[in-house]
Amino acid sequence: MPGDDPTANAGPLRGRILYDGKPLAGAVVEALWRDDPSVRLLTRSDAQGAFVFALPRPGVWLIKSVHMVRAGFFSSADWDSLWASLTFEAPKP
């Protein structure tokens, strides 16, 4: 979840990753720019689940993260994947 409205102000994008209502440390978080998919930023969440991206340009961005957990005993799968994403348009400075 974003710390502030990312469409309101240019500047660093701050957010937190939560799992089961608690901060998720060490989660890989990725930012992708719509206009050029080769522009990819990666970071990991800290002990409080927080992350920061200094987005290099305005435009439409996708922020995403995937967390894998062991599937339940009665599941036919070994793992469950939990996906989080946020798409927004970052303003010009």
- Minimum mean pLDDT range among 38-47, 60-69, 77-86: 77-86
**Structural domain contains residue 6:** no
Strands 28-33 and 59-70 turn out to be: antiparallel
**Could you tell me if residue 7 is inside a domain?**
no
Range of the domain at 82: 13-90
In a domain, 8, yes or no: no
| pLDDT bracket for residue 1 (50, 70, 90) | low
Angle at 21 between CA 19 and CA 27, to 5 degrees: 25
pLDDT digits (tens, 9 = 90+) for 5-64: 888 888 899 999 999 999 999 999 999 999 998 999 999 999 999 999 999 999 999 999
Answer whether residue 4 is part of any domain: no
The answer as to whether 3 is a domain residue is no
Q: CATH code at 60?
A: 2.60.40
Distance between CA atoms of 82 and 93, rounded to whole angstroms?
A: 34
Structural domains in the chain (count): 1
